[in-house]
A and B are shown apart, each in its own frame.
Chain A
Amino acid sequence: MFSIISGITGMPGMAGAKRRTRKPFAGASVAILPLLVSLILAGAAVLPVAAQDKSVPALSATDAARATAILKELDSLDDFSGKDYSALYTIVSEKPGEKQNVSQARVYRRDTKDQFVILVMLPEVNKGQGYLREDNNVWFYDPTSRKFSFSSIKENLQNSEAKNADFTQTSLLDDYTIEAIGEGTVGKYPVWILDLKAKNNEVPYERTRLYVRKDRTMLLKQEDFSVSGRLMRTTLMPKYAELAGKLLPAQILIVDEVNKGEKSQITMAEQSVASLPDKVFTKAFLEQVNR
């Protein structure tokens, strides 16, 4: 789930890699798993956009430089060093024949200290549950028992559906080689189409294809492929918001291409880079908000 989210470049707390481990939602995948498992499998309603691929030419030196610059910029969009970040994440997931699942969580993040706090707001049954992360340690707070339980992120991941590679991927540039760059459109927007191949076999998706808007570096669509070459997931970013001079997705739609009919929509509201009080990143904060 969250790995899917965190795999989307340019979204705070959702980009890849070691940096990603610091992201609130990457961590959330650990903690909020019970809440969000269904979400990850979901995908968004297909956007009113349709990629019109043109043939992808071989990569020339110019193209390679251009593609590298694009990836570099996408990676930089996720860099919130020196600033705090907070947002309200709402996740709506759908599975065929099942009731729509809505989850909501407030996220507070301080990358410089590898800290984040996730406070579950919805569903009502999980309200008040919280996650506090410092370095590789995560504490889960249960308001019913009023107790904290401890575990390391990596251990949790092994027992969850979160993608292992969330913790090994570093960035698009570090993880992938550019195989081709082409042009096309997504909806009415002209885009660069970048075909990437994993540099090592520990990246979650062996191949990925990015559709990046030409006039401003905005990732509009991402397709992830399995080792066998099958399209597994399509991610669409129909809405962006500008925060501290950076363009960040405000809405993400994920379509599971293997489990047909499963999709999720993630909305990030109230995004802010305003400084947060130190007490937010403490156990006392999680206890306090539940009183």
Chain B
Amino acid sequence: MNLVIPRIAARNLTRQKKRSVFLGIAIAFSIMIVTVINGFSGAFIRNVSENFAYLMAGHVFVQGSEKTESGKQLSVIRDDAAISAALEASGISSMRVTRTSEASATLIFEGKSTRQTLTGLDIAGSPFLGERLALVSGTWQATTKRDALILSEKVAKKLNVQPGDRLLAEFKTVTGQNNVVDFTLAAISADTGIVGSVMAYANISYLNEGLGLKDGEYMSLGIMLDNLKEAPAAADALYASMRESGLNLFDRDTEKAQSGVSTPFQEMLKSQKSETWEGVRYSVLTIDDIMAQARQIVVALDSVSLIILLVLFAIVMVGISNTFRMVMYERIREIGTMRAMGVQRSEIRSLFLYEALFLALAGAVAGILAALVAMGIASIHDFGMNSPAFLIMKNGHLSFYLPPLRAIGNILIIVVLTIVAAFFPARAAAKMQPAEALRTQK
């Protein structure tokens, strides 16, 4: 392989250091911005899912639906033993299981009221809740009381309640009867964004009484795994195990869900409405199934980053194209000399394109490195567990994940666009007649 032309191209880049550096910086800046956005979106869904998994107490969920004689649909799991046996037989290892119930309640305190989802769980037996929920007042000790309630700061402020206050919760039982239950505010948690602020926690045994559920009954079984990535496989294994044990199950994957028309969670809800069955029918969902719509945010972020890349690079391309055209005029006699000495037109064109290639590669690599440094610095700062952006962060830190293929793709885009920008000046240089070029005076 003839390396003379690439070598000359590399040397040419060093002849005009300032110009090459500025062009390189422009390229590097473009790719850095895009890489940071890609890195953020790459970690976004993972962080949100992971944080939701903690707030919802599981990576994989089993939910039960029962239809009454009147056609009313109840959300309830009655036969915990069968599910536990299926769970054991599924071979899922390293897991923590949390049983929860839920009520959509109106909380009332001294003439003030607000809507709030109450999640009932064994607070004392759910240490992960403490890992993700920062208390701003009250104590975890107080939450062990039977009628204890944990509210977010925003809701507590709205109701003007303090730990120790007694408040009323008005909600419906699982069968739709109206009920009113007293709670004692045990603790106030830091707001964790829009979703976090509408979540409140109570002890499941007490909430179940209000919901009209018997001992051992509940609404959802959450399975916390070691890693979010294990969720799909674990859900598949549990689904198969439950099916083997003869439990009545909703389809886990429908064609529509697979084709992206709707999420598995939405498909399950549709099935619940349209189908009829006897006894309790179970659905197995992962946090990803529930959060599927959040993925659209990632797609949007990636699309925005691509548009930014193209816009930034359209500007840079104009600069590169003009610069190479200027370079061509500066080197017109040199080109003439080279052509007179027998250098072919294609080699002159290659010379310019190699210069563009090296410039793009150097700029892109520098841009990726700068992005990595920027992301590293940004992730050092601890925003704390009570940050409003808690849900998109990892343990209070900004988090980034740059898929290697995405980085390589960005580099390729930059390289191709730079070469395209340099192509026309390169072609013009290659077309020059040697004698004419030699006659040209600067």
Contact = CB atoms under 8 A, between A and B. Distances in A.
Interface string A86-112: 000000000011000000000000000
Contacts of A232: 170, 178, 180
B178 to A, nearest CB: 5
Contacts of B180: 226, 228, 230, 232, 258
Contact of B72 (A202, A206, A227, A260): A202
A39 to B, nearest CB: 16
Given A164-B172, A202-B70, A202-B72, A226 B111 contact: no
A16 interface: no
Interface residues of B, number: 20
A168 B73 CA distance: 12
Contacts of B68: 202
Among A165, A203, A227, max chain B CB count under 10 A is at A227
B168 A258 contact: yes
B177 interface: yes
Interface in A187-202: 198, 201-202
B175 A261 contact: no
Contacts of A96: 111
Given A228-B210, A258-B108, A163 B72 contact: no
A96 B113 CA distance: 11
Contact of B113 (A168, A204, A227, A259): A259
B72 A168 contact: yes
Interface in B172-197: 172-173, 175-181
B415 to A, nearest CB: 52
Chain A, interface size: which category?
A: 20 to 34
B78 to A, nearest CB: 14
A205 interface: yes
A10 B66 CA distance: 34
A226 B178 contact: yes
Nearest to A155: B273
A259 B177 CA distance: 17
A164 B177 CA distance: 8
B319 interface: no
A96 B173 CA distance: 27
Contact of B177 (A97, A204, A258, A261): A204
A238 B289 CA distance: 54
17 contacts: A97-B111, A168-B176, A201-B212, A202-B72, A204-B178, A226-B170, A226-B178, A226-B179, A227-B173, A227-B177, A227-B179, A228-B179, A228-B180, A228-B181, A230-B180, A259-B106, A260-B111
The 6 closest A-B pairs by CB, nearest first: A164-B176, A201-B175, A227-B179, A226-B180, A230-B180, A226-B179
Interface of B: 68, 70, 72, 106, 108, 111, 113, 168, 170, 172-173, 175-181, 210, 212
Interface of A: 96-97, 163-165, 168, 198, 201-206, 224, 226-228, 230, 232, 258-261
